Amino acid sequence: MSDAATHTPTPARTPPITLVGPIGWVRTNLFSGWVSSLVSLLLLFLVVKWVLGFLDWGVFNAIWSVPNDAAGRPDTSSCRALAGTGACWAVIGEKHRFILFGTYPYEEQWRALLAILVFIALFIVSAMRRFWRKELALIWIGALTLIGVLMWGGLLGLAYVPQERWGGLVITLILATFGLAFAFPLSILVALGRRSKLPAIKALCVLYVELVRGVPLISVLFMASVMFPLFLPEGMNIDKLLRAQIAIILFAGAYLAEVVRGGLQTLPRGQYEAADALGLSYWKKTGFIILPQALRLVIPPLVNTFIGFFKDTSLVLIIGIFDLLTAGKTAIIEPAWQGFGIEVYLTVGFIYFCFCFAMSSYSQRLEAELNQSRGR
């Protein structure tokens, strides 16, 4: 019998519960020293206090509906009696159709709702990579035509609704979707033009970008709504919404062009040279080699700009177009509902948030997916 007879391997143990799992995480991240413990406790206290306060106001003390008075108007005295200690969600119940559809005729508002649903379906389909084919362009043309028919009417037995009566969420979606759908291709052309070897094209693109970037969007909208009609021959009138739409397209185009140009510049020169050496023409090189890589690189700033412009469409309120925010603002002009702005603005803000957050999380997923296919 020697000492070196047998060696029993030490069995693997699970790490102590204080190092891994939720407990370990809390210990290392929240309570690693007395300063961090103090800060954690303070923040926890503030969060709990704030959440409880909000629940009190928004849920427990809130009033969800109000009765009508003798004249058939809503009686908001119970809401006013709360004196700010509880939310009056009745305003949303009463005004939600105005916020979503603006002054669109009440009996026809199902058409506006349908248009919103078509928009959302269009976004979902476009987001799926397996639909990224040539047919997607046809789907877009079809969906946008359908939305136009629904909103305007005047055929298929639908009553005609003039554009002045459109409003609410539909207007926001129209401005943002058409705006970005046209601004994005425009921006690619401008970005390519800015790198062109032809001096005239290059100068034109630089001039456009610098000119548009040099003025605020509000002033472009003002010009589109006030000054532009002065230059038109008498009797000719271009729809106000269309003018605002064009202003937004031109404005977003300039900003997006700079983002795309950033992507083009980060591509190594070798990619251009390899494509040239293979004999690919300019447009084939651009379409197959340069843009797929450049656009992938700039997904985060692109989506950033997209989100910014989605919200910037609310600036059309200054030229009197009824978008989501303006509709919300107008909904509380009625004396009975004055003073319940917080509830309305929270709701409008929540709708904006849903769209923006969807864009943001989609872009993160897309980025991860595209990088995966590169084996990184």
**Least Cβ distance, residue 363 to other proteins (angstroms):** 18
Q: Which of the stretches 46-54, 164-172, 287-295, 345-353 binds other proteins when contact is defined by CB under 8 A?
A: 287-295
The reply to whether 78 sits near other proteins by the rule CB under 8 A is: no
Q: Which of 11, 22, 279, 335 binds other proteins (CB under 8 A)?
A: 279
What is d(CA 123, CA 362) in angstroms, rounded to the nearest whole number? 11
Q: Which of the stretches 80-88, 167-175, 249-257, 289-297 binds other proteins when contact is defined by CB under 8 A?
A: 289-297
Q: Which of 280, 342, 351, 358 binds other proteins (CB under 8 A)?
A: 280
Q: Which of 271, 341, 359, 362 binds other proteins (CB under 8 A)?
A: 271
Q: Which of 229, 292, 308, 320 binds other proteins (CB under 8 A)?
A: 292
The reply to whether 289 sits near other proteins by the rule CB under 8 A is: yes
The reply to whether 11 sits near other proteins by the rule CB under 8 A is: no
The reply to whether 197 sits near other proteins by the rule CB under 8 A is: no
**Least Cβ distance, residue 192 to other proteins (angstroms):** 18
Closest CB to other proteins among residues 293, 360: 293
The reply to whether 376 sits near other proteins by the rule CB under 8 A is: yes
Q: Which of 16, 214, 233, 270 binds other proteins (CB under 8 A)?
A: 270
SS (H, E, C) the chain: CCCCCCCCCCCCCCCCCCCCHHHHHHHHHCCCCHHHHHHHHHHHHHHHHHHHHHHHHHHHCCECCCCECCCCCECCHHHHHCCCCCCECHHHHHHHHHHHHCCCCHHHHHHHHHHHHHHHHHHHHHHCHHHCCCHHHHHHHHHHHHHHHHHHCCCCCCCCCCHHHCCEHHHHHHHHHHHHHHHHHHHHHHHHHHCCCCHHHHHHHHHHHHHHHCCCHHHHHHHHHHHHHHHCCCCCCCCHHHHHHHHHHHHHHHHHHHHHHHHHHHCCHHHHHHHHHCCCCHHHHHHHHHHHHHHHHCHHHHHHHHHHHHHHHHHHHHHCCCEHHHHHHHHCCCHHHCCCHHHHHHHHHHHHHHHHHHHHHHHHHHHHHHHHCCCC
Q: Which of the stretches 18-26, 27-35, 72-80, 368-376 binds other proteins when contact is defined by CB under 8 A?
A: 368-376
Q: Which of the stretches 7-15, 170-178, 276-284, 328-336 binds other proteins when contact is defined by CB under 8 A?
A: 276-284
**Least Cβ distance, residue 296 to other proteins (angstroms):** 7
Q: Which of the stretches 177-185, 277-285, 298-306, 321-329 binds other proteins when contact is defined by CB under 8 A?
A: 277-285
The reply to whether 138 sits near other proteins by the rule CB under 8 A is: no
Q: Which residues bind other proteins (CB under 8 A)?
A: 268, 270-271, 273-281, 284, 288-289, 292-293, 296, 373-376
